[in-house]
């Protein structure tokens, strides 16, 4: 399990909006590392694209790409109907969300209620061990 230092912005970042941006950037770094271990592609919601964290080419959903992988990991994705339109036919969906009421859990086969900044590094570390990567 990652320690809390990984989710605490550096002291010099005092502005709340900047803290949010920092956390989102850290989140994407964690997701990219997990994707690397799984040899998977990284998709995103329109909210993440609009915020500038990732290019539009990676957007999944009604106004983005439609994907249907063997495993779709919906990480900090609420599960808006427009997002579901792009991924609901995935063979298996794992949802990781800190809100147990998030709509994505209604669609997911597997669900983890957790802060992704804690769970994703732990998942990546375990997969690295098991897959020898
Ligand atoms: C015409 C139209 C077209 C659209 N097309 C698309 C589209 O193609 N694709 C698309 O995705 N959206 C689309 N949208 C937008 C869509 O309605 C949602 O606003 C968007 O999908 C929400 O993205 P999100 O889940 O990333 O963000 P939010 O709805 O803000 O949800 C963020 C989620 O992350 C969770 N969370 C936050 N921090 C953490 C953490 N540290 N650990 C774990 N969980 C956390 C929260 O609990 C929440 O559930 C469209 C909207 C319209 C009106």
- Is 43's C-beta closer than 6 angstroms to any atom of ligand 1? no
How far does residue 57's CA lie from ligand 1's centre (Å)? 16
Q: How confident is the model at residue 74 (pLDDT cuts 50, 70, 90)?
A: very high
pTM of the model: 0.94
Residue 7: the pLDDT is 81
**Cβ-proximal residues to 34 (8 Å cutoff; 6+ apart), any chain:** 40, 73, 120, 123, 124, 127
Specify which residues 38 forms β-bridges with. none
Of ligand 1's listed atoms, the one at least distance from the Cα of 115 is: 42
Give me the sign of the Cα torsion angle 34, 46, 15, 113. negative
What is the C-alpha separation between 126 and 30, in angstroms, rounded? 14
Report the topology of domain 4-131. Answer: Rossmann fold (3.40.50)
Per-residue pLDDT tens over the stretch 16-67: 999 999 999 999 999 999 999 999 999 999 999 999 999 999 999 999 999 9
How far does residue 63's CA lie from ligand 1's centre (Å)? 13
Of ligand 1's listed atoms, the one at least distance from the Cα of 60 is: 9
How far does residue 56's CA lie from ligand 1's centre (Å)? 14
Q: What are the structural domain ranges in the chain? A: 4-131
| Region for residue 61 given its phi and psi (left: phi exceeds 0; alpha: psi -120 to 50; beta: otherwise) | left
Per-residue pLDDT tens over the stretch 85-120: 999 999 999 999 999 999 999 999 999 999 999 999
Nearest CA to ligand 1 atom 35: 76
């Amino acid at each position: 399990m990652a320690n809390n230092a990984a989710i605490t912005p550096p002291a010099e970042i005092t502005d709340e909006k900047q803290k949010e941006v920092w956390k989102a950037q850290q989140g994407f770094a964690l997701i990219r590392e997990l994707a690397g271990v799984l040899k998977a592609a990284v998709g995103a919601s329109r909210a993440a694209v609009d915020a500038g964290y990732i290019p539009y080419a990676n957007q999944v959903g009604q106004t983005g790409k439609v994907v249907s992988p063997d495993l779709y990991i919906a990480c900090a994705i609420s599960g808006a109907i427009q997002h579901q339109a792009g991924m609901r036919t995935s063979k298996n969906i794992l949802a990781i969300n800190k809100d147990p009421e998030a709509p994505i859990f209604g669609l997911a086969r597997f669900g983890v209620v957790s802060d992704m900044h804690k769970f994703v590094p732990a998942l990546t570390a375990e997969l690295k061990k098991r897959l020898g990567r």
